[in-house]
Copies of this chain bind each other. A is one copy, B any other.
Amino acid sequence: MVVSETFFDVRYYETDLMGIVHHSNYVRYFELGRVQMLADMGLPIQEIEKAGIMLPVVSVECHYKLPTKMGERLKVVSRIEKIPMAKMEIKNEIYNQNGELACYGTVVLGFIHSDTRRPTRAPKSLIDKIIPYFDNL
């Protein structure tokens, strides 16, 4: 399994008139987390894209448990639990600074060729980086 933790502060513009972070931003926080996870694995997303592969989002799902607010430092935990084939599934959890779960959900990414925009499998460069995390199986 690949696991990554990314910390970040709530930004003022991310709050809404309810006084809490607008729900759409958690989808963006999930993205922050997986972009950092890829970078931590030694394969920043911009490297994958330079090699002609893009990772469009196939589906997103997000369950909200606790609101978060301006002044809070949050943590997103991202996990790849299965070696990706045609798709890559990422589990996400966001915690507030008391360690309470604020929200969680799953994001599924696909792989396409940048030029043709046609689907492809997970690129070898990515699989090679991911495999070592599953070697103990």
Interface residues, chain A, CB within 8 Å of chain B?
11-13, 15-20, 22-25, 27-28, 31-32, 35, 44-46, 49, 54, 56-64, 67, 69-71, 117
Contact = CB atoms under 8 A, between A and B. Distances in A.
B60 A23 contact: yes
| Total copies of the chain | 4
A29 to B, nearest CB: 10
A54 B12 contact: no
A13 B18 contact: no
Given A12-B31, A59-B63, A70-B45, A54 B18 contact: yes
A62 to B, nearest CB: 5
Contacts of A62: 59-61
